Amino acid sequence: MKRLVFYSFALAVGFLSITSFKNQSAILNLKSTITDTLLYPEETHFKNVQQLTFGGDNAEAYFSFDSKWIIFQRTNLKEGIKCDQIFIGKVPKPGEKFEYKMLSSGKGRTTCGFFTKDGKHIIYASTHLGADTCPPVPDRSKYGNKYIWPLYDSYDIFMADLNGKIVKQLTYSKGYDAEGTLSPNGKKMIYTSDKDGDIDLYIMDLKTGKEKRVTNTLGYDGGAWFSPDGEKIIWRASRPKTEAEVKEYEDLLAENLVAPTNLEVFIANADGSHVQQVTHFGQANWAPAFFPDSKRIIFASNQEYKRGFPFNLYSINEDGSNLQKITHEKIFDAFPMFSPDGKKIIFCSNRNNGGTHDTNIFIADWIE
């Protein structure tokens, strides 16, 4: 959640700004030589890996508070789903098929689904108030074929019941409001908005609607989570520093765009105080979440590879120490989340996709 839509091998190529035919051919040739697998030998923290989806782009899969359900977003042109819609399904028992249903209306583009504490509702962002159709994607050729992500100003965040009926609109600002997740007690929502002129994090009290802006540094701040104990927040951020970087960032923002190709992981107290930068690796370090102990962090990164891929999952301490590689996929692993009971992990990956560009959802038992 929270989440820039980096999934799918095709998008990853754009995200990494790989523009030459020669490099693209090399990547595709590498893809064709990869053996499909559910589990790589080095992935010792995973057991009983199960693939939940088969085909299309499936991403941002997250558990309900009781660990029994999963919410995710899905695009599949073969099924007539032209841009992301929100789906939910019950966590299957070993050997069972994962059954799921669409909860969003099919209008506009949706993203960043999350269950409420009571398990009877979900929140998600949608552009449907702007138009029933999928909003246009940016023409990246105008920006040197960099990965450019649109900040659709028709995105707002809504609450719906488990039949898909929208029961409440949570944000109303003219601008991008998305990437929402909830605190462990279910009372607060942290989300990303550009309503005050930059791309920042806000925390809203769901009962009163009162909110506080919790980031104030120039750059993109998004993909935020509360720690399981509710004491901290974690997110990904860009921090343009040079005059050229600031100009590029501000020029794109003026067009409701962002190029999130340089990201680091940050943490802070739940009120936004005592901000600390956790990673200093360069490239893209993103999709962070806390372990169930609220101390260690899991995140996705391409920091080992100057060519820009693969993306794999890593763990790290809050102070940036004890970096450990968790997954060993050859193209893309991201969007990790532990189940609230700490027994399972869910993530999205290009593994075992038959040589296609499909990104699917996987679940596994977590082994310390």
- pTM of structure: 0.92
Is the Cβ–Cβ distance between 195 and 211 less than 8 Å? no
Q: Left, alpha or beta for 56 (phi > 0: left; psi -120 to 50: alpha)?
A: left
Beta strands, E only, 64-155:
69-76, 81-90, 100-102, 110-115, 121-126, 149-150
Beta bridge partners of 325: 314
Cα–chain center distance at 219: 18
Token pair of 198, please?
A: 């930059």
Q: Residue 11 — pLDDT band, cuts 50, 70, 90?
A: very low
When comparing pLDDT for 117 and 27, which is higher? 117
* Structural domains of the chain in order of their starting residue, each with its CATH number: 9-366 (2.120.10.30)
Mean pLDDT of the chain: 91
The two structure tokens encoding residue 174: 């003219």
Question: Mean pLDDT throughout 131-140?
Answer: 95
pLDDT level of residue 119 (50, 70, 90 thresholds): very high
Query: Is the backbone of residue 142 left (phi > 0), alpha (psi -120 to 50) or beta?
Result: alpha
- In sequence order, what E strands does 24-176 have? 46-51, 57-63, 69-76, 81-90, 100-102, 110-115, 121-126, 149-150, 156-161, 166-169
Of the two residues 125 and 147, the one the predictor is more confident about is 125
18: left (phi over 0), alpha (psi -120 to 50) or beta: beta
Percent of the chain with pLDDT over 70: 90
pLDDT for 34 equals: 57
